Structure formats: C-alpha cells, structure tokens
Amino acid sequence: MLLEVWNSMPETINSLKCLAKAILTIFLSTYSCESLFSTLNNVKSHNRNRLHDETSLACVANMFPIGNSDDEGVLLSEDEINLPTSEKYFSIIETKLRGYQRTNPDNCAMLKACVDYQIKKEKYYLDANLALLKLYQFDPCLYSNSEPIINILLKSIMNLPKSDFLACTALVNPNNISSEAFNDICDLHSLLDQCRFTEAWMVIDKLEPEIKPIKGFQQSIINYIVYVVGITYQTIKYSLFKSFLPDLEEDEVIHIIEAKEWEFIDDMMFISDKSSLIKSQNIDEKIKFEDLIPVVPSD
C-alpha cells in the first residue's frame, strides 16, 4: 500500500504544479486585462481633458486674441467690455491656473493675452501676472521680450500703496531683462514709496514710451499722491500740494481738492480726515443703584 502511494506521488505533484500554473496564468491574464482597460481609460480621460483644455483656450483666444497695442479690434469692443465680462474672463484664467496647471508652459500665450487685456481696458489681475512671471522664472526659454514684464511692473505700481510691485520683482531676474526701463521702473517705485513725488514725475517723463499704452497710469499716480497727502497732512500750502502733481491746469487741481472735500483758503489747504474725527457720544447709565445693593458690602 505504501509503495503504491509512494509511486503515485510524482503524478500528484505534477498535477498540483499544472493546477498552480493554470491559476497563475488566469491571474496574470486578468491583471493584464485590468491594466489594459485602466490604461485605455486613462488615455480616453487624457484626450477628453486635452480637448476641453484646447476648447477653453480657443474660447479665450477668440474672445481676447493677442495683438499689438496699435492694432484695432484685437480685443472686445467698448460696448462689450463691462464688469461681468471682465469677471467672466478672469474666472476662466483662474480655472486654468489651478493646481499643477499654474506652471504649465502652454498657458504662457493665454497669460500674455491677459496682460494685454489689462493694459488696454484698465483692468488688473495680480494672480495672472504673478503666474506669468513664475513661468518665466521656471522656463527662461519662454521669455522672448521684456514688454510683458515691463507692463506687469507698471500695472503693479498703479496699485500703490499695496505691495504688489515687491511681489512681482521677487519673481524677476534682472539679468534676463535687456530693457533699460527696468531700472527706471524700480527707481520710480522707490521714489513714490519715499514720497519724492517731484523726482518721480521726472522718471515718469523718461518712461513715456513704456507708459503711453497703459491707460489710466497718470491718474492712478495722482490718486496715490492724494491718498498720501490725506493721511499725512492736516494743513498744507496749495503751492506745495500742486508741486506734488504733474503739470495740471488750475481747474483740475481745484477739482481734486473739491472732490476730497478739503477746505481751501488763500494759499492754505485744510485736510479733513473724517476717519480721525472724534465723535462724542452720550452714554446713558442703565445700571441703577438699587441693582448694586446685593453686591455692596454692608457693615
């Protein structure tokens, strides 16, 4: 009996080997099929996302194509440019900058178009500007000319007293900028930050070719100067205040003073800062003496 069992063991072992081999073959076949299906699904998903991205970029390009500042009709018409349209446009840009897409070099053309849009339509979108500067920082090959960087820096100066300019210059490598205007723009920001307005206007005159395409630049600097004067002075001579401003007509200066509701007597201006006015209030005592008797110690 034992001899028969011993003789049949090789056949049993071979059968087990065949069974194990069959199971392993089935498992590998199933795993390969699942991997294949997963790969196909990923490819389909990638194609769908790519199609969606290309469609979105095409929509943005059709709405806001890239063009030179001298081109006519490269952006939307004046009747079509309004706040909801701008918000919709910026929301599209925001969607394209989420997650890892923020450093996608394919977004470079879209972000340049966004800078052109801000320049021509007096809009401002700091996040898109920072994203473009970050792309230039990561991939210097995308950098072809200094115009977008110069425009971004000038737009950030228009947003004074906020520190947007410092955030932008932190992403800029001066060695990659061939334009001499970069140093002048840095000097301009430094002068405005130090309230050396007379010298700042001289630098602005020097930067006229770069500033000319940017709508509202001079007015934004005037607004910043008026803001600084309003929080700094209580009284100031009219002649001194006028020296802070560019060559404006007398009526324009008077209009600024009246718009701020400042008093103007002879050569003296009286700055009224409503936020610093002390308003007296009548305090009504609501606690009666009888209410204090329980807590007042008695002898």
pLDDT in tens, 173-211: 887 776 778 889 999 999 999 999 999 999 999 999 999
pLDDT per position as a tens digit, 143-167: 778 888 899 999 999 999 999 999 9
Q: Model confidence at 2, in pLDDT bands (50, 70, 90)?
A: very low
Mean pLDDT of 127-134: 88
Query: Is the link from the previous residue into 174 a cis peptide, with omega within 30 of 0?
Result: no
Mean pLDDT of 209-225: 91
DSSP bridge partners of 270: 235, 263
Q: Could you state, in order of their start, the residue ranges of all structural domains in the chain?
A: 233-276
pLDDT at residue 28 in the model: 54
pLDDT per position as a tens digit, 255-280: 888 888 888 888 888 887 655 555 66
- Which H helix or E strand runs over 286? none
**Cα–Cα distance, 250 to 282 (Å, whole number):** 44
pLDDT at residue 274 in the model: 59
Mean pLDDT of 239-264: 87
pLDDT at residue 78 in the model: 42
User: What's phi and psi for 266, nearest 5 deg?
Assistant: 55, -120
Q: Reply yes or no on whether the pLDDT at 241 is more than 60.
A: yes
DSSP bridge partners of 237: 268
pLDDT per position as a tens digit, 19-65: 666 676 665 555 554 554 454 455 445 444 444 444 444 444 444 44
Total-model pTM: 0.62
Note whether 197 and 220 are within 8 A (CB): no
- Residues whose CB falls within 8 Å of the CB of residue 46, separated by 6 or more in sequence, listed in order: none
Task: State the chain's mean pLDDT as an integer.
Answer: 74
Alpha helix ranges (H) inside 159-213: 164-169, 181-193, 197-206, 208-211
pLDDT at residue 79 in the model: 43
**Cα–Cα distance, 200 to 191 (Å, whole number):** 6
- In the chain, what are the helix, strand and coil shares in percent, each to the nearest 5? 70, 5, 30
Q: Establish how many alpha carbons lie within 13 A of residue 115's alpha carbon, considering only the half-sphere containing its beta carbon.
A: 24
